[in-house]
Amino acid sequence: MKDPGASTVRILVVEDEPSISQVCLRVLTAEGFDVDIAENGAKAQEKLKAKDYDICLIDIITPVMDGKRLYHWIVDKRPQLVKGVLFTTGDSVNPDTRIFLERVGRPFLPKPFTLDELKTVVKETLSQVGK
């Protein structure tokens, strides 16, 4: 049971595929997290300017602004959030994506991922940020 005095963990899911964002929303909300959805990096920036998050689960390929550009914005504008960034991608075999993921050193989930994989990587990331 969640400690009523504990602060709620806030997660921003940046995902343009509605089926995936809704699964993330359902699963992570059921785990007791406060979850918001952004369809792309530009929408995510708006949410990040308005609210503090503990974790950002970012799809690397989204329209308008991709996850790579959003990550660089986070490094510049919200450096305290960098340890809470994790990525999802259906493009992990692409050399550019691989190089980016290796360079930034953040966890990632290759699509398709299981619900257990999602919960595990989020909980591991929370332990890294001290939540």
- Taking only the tens place, the pLDDT of each residue in 36-55 is 999 999 999 999 999 999 99
Give the architecture-level CATH label for domain 10-128.
Answer: 3-Layer(aba) Sandwich (3.40)
**What average pLDDT does this structure show over 81-100?**
93
Looking up tokens 């792309």 gives: 40
pLDDT in tens, 96-128: 999 999 999 999 999 999 999 999 999 999 998
The pLDDT, as a whole number, for residue 131 is 83
pLDDT in tens, 13-44: 999 999 999 999 999 999 999 999 999 999 99
Looking up tokens 């989020």 gives: 122
Looking up tokens 């940046």 gives: 14
Tokens representing residue 106 in the block? 């953040």
Q: Would you tell me the crossing angle of helices 115-128 and 18-30 to the nearest 10 degrees?
A: 60
CA-to-CA distance for 79 and 27, rounded, in angstroms?
Answer: 27
Looking up tokens 């966890």 gives: 107
pLDDT band at 81 (very low <50, low <70, confident <90, very high): very high
DSSP H/E element including 12: strand 10-14
Q: What does pTM read for this prediction?
A: 0.93
Chain mean pLDDT for the chain: 93
The pLDDT, as a whole number, for residue 6 is 53
| Helix, strand, coil fractions of the chain, as percent rounded to 5 | 50, 20, 35
Domain ranges of the chain: 10-128
